[in-house]
Structure formats: C-alpha cells, structure tokens
Structure 1
Amino acid sequence: MAYKSLLTIASSETGTRTAVDAGTKLALAMDAHLETLALGVDRSQLGYAYIGTGAVIMQVAMERAAEEAAQHEKYLRAALEAQGQDLRWSLDSAVCQLGALGELVGARARYSDLVVLPQPYGDDQGAEGEAVLESALFDGAAPVLVLPASGLPAALPKRVVLAWNQSREAMVAARRAMPLLKRAEQVVITVVDPSANGPERSDPGGNLCQMLVRHGVRAEVSVLARTLPRVSDVLARQCQDIGADLLVMGAYGHSRFREAILGGATRNMLESAEVPVFMAH
C-alpha cells in the first residue's frame, strides 16, 4: 500500500519550494509521480459598474492572473528541476476566478492519492491558499498533507500522533494515512477528554488500535485530559512530548463557516502547527 499519484498546487511563491521538497521525498520513497499545478487567480469581485467598465476590469484581472500563473510556473519548474533526475514529475498551469477554485482544484485532486500543500495562513498568503486546501478536501475528496514552514523532516515519519474522537472524519483520516502509519516506528492514538457516556467509554481508542495493529501498525493509545483551553493545544503538546514528526486528524468536524468565525480544532491546528498535518474529511 503506497501513494502513487501526488499533487501540489502553487497559488503563491510562499511555501512552494517547501511543498515541492516534501512531495519529492514522498514520491521517491513510494515510487510515485508528482503532479504540480501553477495557479493564477482572478480575485476581482465585480458588484456593479458603469456600462462597459466591467468587461475592461475582468480583462485586466485575467491578464494579471495569467502573468501570475506564468510566474508560478517558472518558480515551480526551477524547484522541480533542482530535485534531480530520479523524480518523475509533470507541470501544468491554469487561470481561474476565485469563485471557481473548487471546481478546478477538485478536478485535479480527485485523481490524486495525496495533495501536498503549504500552510494556508500567514502574512504572505492570500485567500486562495485556504480555498485551495478546502477545495482539495471537499471537492476533490482527497487527503491533504499540510506543511509548516520547516517542511517535511523525513520522507517517512517515524513517530505519528493520530487524533481520535470516534468521528467519521477521524476514521477517514486514519484509513487514508495507512501507507504512512504502516511505515512509522510509533503511532500514538491520542484521545482528548473522551466522553464518559460514549460507545468507547470503557476502552477509548481500543477498537481503532486493534484495527491498525492487524494492518501491521505499531499503535498504542494515549488518553489525555483537556488541561489546555483548546483541543489543538493538547494535540500540539502531545506532538512535542513524543517528538512526533506527523499529526493525523480528521478535518472540519463542524461547518467551515463555523470554524472560520468561532474557531475549531482544524483551523486552530492549521494556523499554529509546527509539524506536518495529515488531514482528510
């Protein structure tokens, strides 16, 4: 079991080299093909305008997006060619409006085993970074590996924290991460403040651990109290305590709108993660 088709999308120069480096490590370790997409985004939001001006604005915006895509393509090509001859890769470019990102990215991600992207938040990141990530998760139904600025420490993580809350999203993430989990030296299934009335109240994480062990995963269970304000803080501390180089978690258990306004484990982790985060929905 391995990932054979990897995808990374460059919507800005920030984090592109990090994503290419990580994608290369995974592709070489799993004998996979790395697909890359240079994206130019038209961010214009036309409401109303004087007669004739709307078409002019749209034309200018699309020309700027095309220039942006060409610039990202040049940057991507240089990063890919620097990886050596052993890497199998392909490069494409596209231009679209911000509102059409879901359809474009979803069509590309749908046929990928794993999408590798930089952290979508930061001073140099625009709205398209988060839109690309969510489009891959929801429209493409693909797992996403989100990289911090430090990148991917090793092609195959040795110590993994697997966040578990009995949700559908957490189970999907565990199944999609199986190629990485089976190659890890230690997988710690981490349950934060489990419900005293839930179906797994007598053995939190036990059924998942049993399933993973049958697949050859070196899994164990760690049950933690919520001693910090946010679940994401507890997970981050767990990663630090065991020296984890990957966190696996389900993405967006609540609606994206609610997480954008009120916050949630997914958004909090994406904003502050110091280790690569593997997400699936």
Structure 2
Amino acid sequence: MDYKTLLCVMTDADIARAALEQSIALTEAQDAHLDVLALGVDRSQTGYFYAGADAILMQEMLARAHGEAKEIQDKAEAKLNNSTVRWASDMGVAQIADLGRHVASRARFADLVVLPKPYGKNHGNELEPTLEAALFEGQAPVLMVPESATPIKTPKTVCIGWNESAEALVATRAALPFLKSADVVHVVVIDPPTHGPNRSDPGGLLSQFLARHGVNAQVDVLSKTQPRVSDVLLRHATDNNADLMVMGAYGHSRFREAILGGATRNMLEHAHLPVFLAH
C-alpha cells in the first residue's frame, strides 16, 4: 500500500507552513494527490454576547473567518503552484465546536493526514480538535509535523514506540510504506512486561512481521530512566538520528490525557521530529 491521497488541513498559514511543505515532499515521493483544506475558524459562542448583539457579531465573526480562510488558501496555492505535484485546494468556515465534522469528512477519504504540531506558543485551540477529529472520526493516520522540521521524502531511520497495544499495532501497519523504504527501523520497547507470552522476546513477533515485509527492523529494549515514556522515546530518537517516530495514539482516553497527561499528549507537546500517529 502507498499513500495516494494526502490531506493537509490549514487553520493558520504560518504554523502550518512546515506541514504543507512536508505534504508536498511526500506527495512527490509517493506520486500521490494532495488535497489542501484551508479553514477559517469562527471562535464566537452563540449566546455569549448580550441580547440583540448576537446576529451582528456572529456575522462579523463569520466574515472574519471567511477572510482568514481565503488568505490561507491563497498562500497555500502560491506554494503549490511552484511545485510539480497534483493538488486541489478548498476553503471553508467552521465554528470551533463544529470543527471536527468538517475535518473528519475529508480525512475519511485520505490515506494520510498531515497536520502541524497542536501545542506551542501562539498555537490556536483549534489545532488539537483538528488532529483528534482526523484520528477518531476520520479514522485516518496522522503525520504531525513540528514547525522546525525539514521536509523529508523518505525517512531513513524510524523509531516505533512499541508497547504491544492495539493502537501501536494499527500505527505500525499504517506506517508500512515508510517502514519498508527506511534503511533501519528501531522497535523501541520500554520496560517490557515480566509476565506474558512475549516476556522472553519483547518485540520479537513485531520484528518478524516487519521482516516479512522487507523491513530492516531491530529491537531496542530500554529502561524507563526518565519520568515520562515520551522523554525516553525522544532521547532514543535523537541518539539514533531518527527522521520519524511511529506510535499508537491515545491508548488512554483523551479526557484522561488532557487532565493527567500521557505518552501521546506529551509527545505532541515536545516532539522535535515528525510523529506518525494512528488509533
């Protein structure tokens, strides 16, 4: 399987610049088609303003969101016109509470959704629900691209965060086009279980599965020497000059991770390299 339809959702032209550049690079490498969705976000809340002001202010907010969407689309098309890839762009306006429906309807028919990092300075609160809508309602894998990332066409070194969960397996299968073209894939197991069928060979069955697909995989068993699993994964990725991190998304509930934190939330906050996610 290759990625033949890529989707890049942009709600801020500057923050999504790296995501768009990565989308173009992957589209060229995969001989694929790129769809760009420019979304203007109406952040007003019906009923928040005093009586009689709702209609006027809502119209003003919608007009502002429409202008933002048009500006984002124009900037994206200027970059796309200088590329050699097949592409199409569309724009729309969505209220913040209804954002997921718009994103999911497009993500459902994409092989891969490329999005910017959802957390950071000056990052709008629409970026998190955009990513979650693509993963959950859209049922599509997501490639999260930090603003500082350099576009890559084919990752050469990939790390897989492997914990035997269903989410990690779904992500690994969805990432096979990247894994098969990589020079080396590190299956990273942190503090493997001391009981269970795989205790004597952690990551062994996954590496066998990958080998049969022609993937050059090796298992790295690590101790949790830092408070968070994401910190151990990122340090190992840095030590191995990894181009890409693959991991399952939200093994715990989104609410729990939003309140208490979790590997997915922490990775999305601190990753310095592209992260491939699936649920």
Shorter-normalised TM range:
over 0.9
The equivalent residue for 1:211 is 209
Structure-2 separation of matches of 1:15 and 1:105: 17
The equivalent residue for 1:32 is 32
Query: C-alpha displacement at 1:125, in angstroms?
Result: 1.0
Q: Deviations over 1:85-123 (max 9, x none)?
A: x21010100101111111110000000000111111121
Query: C-alpha displacement at 1:152, in angstroms?
Result: 4.0
The equivalent residue for 2:115 is 117
The equivalent residue for 2:139 is 141
Q: Is residue 174 from structure 1 mapped to residue 190 from structure 2 by the alignment?
A: no
The equivalent residue for 1:72 is 72
Query: Is the CA contact (8 Å cut-off) linking 2:21 and 2:151 kept in structure 1?
Result: no
Instruction: Say how many residue pairs are matched.
Output: 279
Which SS does the other structure have where 2:136 is aligned? Answer: helix
Give the residue type in structure 2 aligned to 1:168: A
Query: Is the CA contact (8 Å cut-off) linking 2:15 and 2:123 kept in structure 1?
Result: no
Please, what TM-score do these two structures have when normalized by structure 2?
0.97
Give the residue type in structure 2 aligned to 1:164: W
Structure-2 separation of matches of 1:45 and 1:59: 12
User: Which sections of structure 2, spanning at least 5 residues, go unmatched?
Assistant: none
The equivalent residue for 1:15 is 15
Give the residue type in structure 1 aligned to 2:34: L
Structure-2 separation of matches of 1:57 and 1:103: 23
Structure-1 separation of matches of 2:47 and 2:59: 15
Please, what TM-score do these two structures have when normalized by structure 1?
0.96
User: Which sections of structure 1, spanning at least 5 residues, go unmatched?
Assistant: none
Select between 52-61 and 160-169 the one with higher mean Cα deviation: 52-61
Select between 55-64 and 141-150 the one with higher mean Cα deviation: 55-64
Query: C-alpha displacement at 1:22, in angstroms?
Result: 0.7
The equivalent residue for 1:82 is 82
Structure-1 separation of matches of 2:127 and 2:172: 24
The equivalent residue for 1:251 is 249
Aligned-residue sequence identity (percent) comes to 55
Structure-1 separation of matches of 2:71 and 2:268: 26
Query: C-alpha displacement at 1:48, in angstroms?
Result: 4.8
CA RMSD of the aligned region, Å? 1.2
Query: Is the CA contact (8 Å cut-off) linking 1:189 and 1:219 kept in structure 2?
Result: yes
Q: Deviations over 1:175-223 (max 9, x none)?
A: 0000000000000100011111233211111111110100111111111
The equivalent residue for 1:234 is 232
